[in-house]
Amino acid sequence: MQMNEQKGATWAVAAVLAVVAGGVLVHQWGAEVRATGVTSLPAAPEGMRWVGLGRVVVAVPDWWTTGETQCLAPVEDTVYFDQAGTADCVDPARPAAVREVSALAVFDGTSGYGEVQLRSMEPMSEIDGREVGEREGCEEFFDGVCRRFFGLPDEGVVFAVTIAEEGDGSYEAIRDSVHVLPDDMTTIPLAVPAGSTPGFGDEPDIVDDLVPALSAAGLHVEIETAEDSGGDIGPSAGFPPGSLLDVSPSLGSVIEVGGTVTITVSGS
């Protein structure tokens, strides 16, 4: 999980239970999910990495971070969970900053704004036995910032892609890379149940939300403490003990069902 020193950056994580055994139905974002029949996930294209929600993943450029947002808006090339909400904050992202970045926003398609987007989509292809829908045109969610939507109705997952410049990849490449994971794989959650967005350096109470979110997804959690060395972590950097510093593997990435996620927090 990549994090920079910008304290305003946020990490969106989602509590998604995505364990399938013996073809039994489970619930993922409130949607019923069956065993996929898929037995393997191909390697991500060169220079890209798999990210997603529940059991649906797409490939994004591997230099894109995870959750680099400010007041719910992307401020770096990044992947983040989006509720299409507004944040009451003192330092909102400037439209000019949002126009400069490329991003993948991931939505829960079983309720709220994500569900609205799914209803507006037309079938455009099929992958791993699942229909892929696409919304015509684009949405201008900031002045001069256009994002395009696609999703998998059967899985209740929606993706919105913003490409700021040609070197950041393409909407079509991300859309066409979509896959449903094998039954023994899932993704690390992208949003805590309350919808808050943990960020690098956030105070310990956010870790208290993150740990049960990961556990609820059937994952094991280990917490490591990085002792303060007088540098960029810990009290000397203004972070109280127990503040969030890192999550590995990164949020949204692929992991085996029942796998282990390590959270690193600042020490005393």
Q: Domains of the chain (ranges plus CATH)?
A: 26-187 (3.40.1000), 204-266 (3.30.10.20)
Quote the pLDDT of residue 3.
43
Here the tokens at position 231 are 């540098």
Here the tokens at position 189 are 């959650």
Average pLDDT over residues 150-172: 95
pLDDT at position 26 over 60: no
CA distances, 60 to each of 18, 29, 133, 168 (Å): 22, 23, 19, 9
Phi first, then psi: give them for residue 261, nearest 5 degrees. -115, 130
pLDDT at position 100 over 80: yes
Quote the pLDDT of residue 92.
84
pLDDT at position 258 over 80: yes
pTM across the whole model:
0.81
The H-or-E segment that residue 256 falls in is strand 254-256
Nearest alpha carbon to residue 134 among 146, 119, 149, 117: 149
The two beta strands, 78-81 and 103-108, are parallel
Helix extents (H) in 71-166: 95-99, 112-119
Q: What angle do CA 260, 262, 266 make, to 5 degrees?
A: 165
Cis amide linkage into residue 45, ω under 30° from 0: no
109 C-beta neighbours (distance < 10 Å), count:
30
Nearest alpha carbon to residue 51 among 122, 106, 117: 106
Nearest alpha carbon to residue 261 among 227, 225, 214, 217: 214
Quote the pLDDT of residue 71.
83
Average pLDDT over residues 9-21: 31
Q: How confident is the model at residue 11 (pLDDT cuts 50, 70, 90)?
A: very low
pLDDT at position 91 over 90: no
Q: What's the rounded Cα separation, in Å, for the pair 244 and 247?
A: 8
The least confident of 75-89, 172-186, 220-234, 239-253 is 220-234
pLDDT at position 230 over 60: no
Quote the pLDDT of residue 232.
59
Amino acid letter at 172?
A: E
Nearest alpha carbon to residue 263 among 6, 24, 8, 13: 13
Q: pLDDT tens-digit profile of 113-148? A: 999 999 999 999 999 889 999 999 999 988 889 999
pLDDT at position 18 over 60: no
Report which of residues 173 and 192 the model is more confident about.
Answer: 173
Report which of residues 156 and 25 the model is more confident about.
Answer: 156
Q: What's the rounded Cα separation, in Å, for the pair 96 and 152?
A: 31
How many residues comprise the chain? Answer: 268
Quote the pLDDT of residue 229.
59
Secondary structure (3-state) at 210: helix
Q: What's the rounded Cα separation, in Å, for the pair 117 and 131?
A: 15
pLDDT at position 179 over 50: yes
Nearest alpha carbon to residue 12 among 262, 253, 252: 252
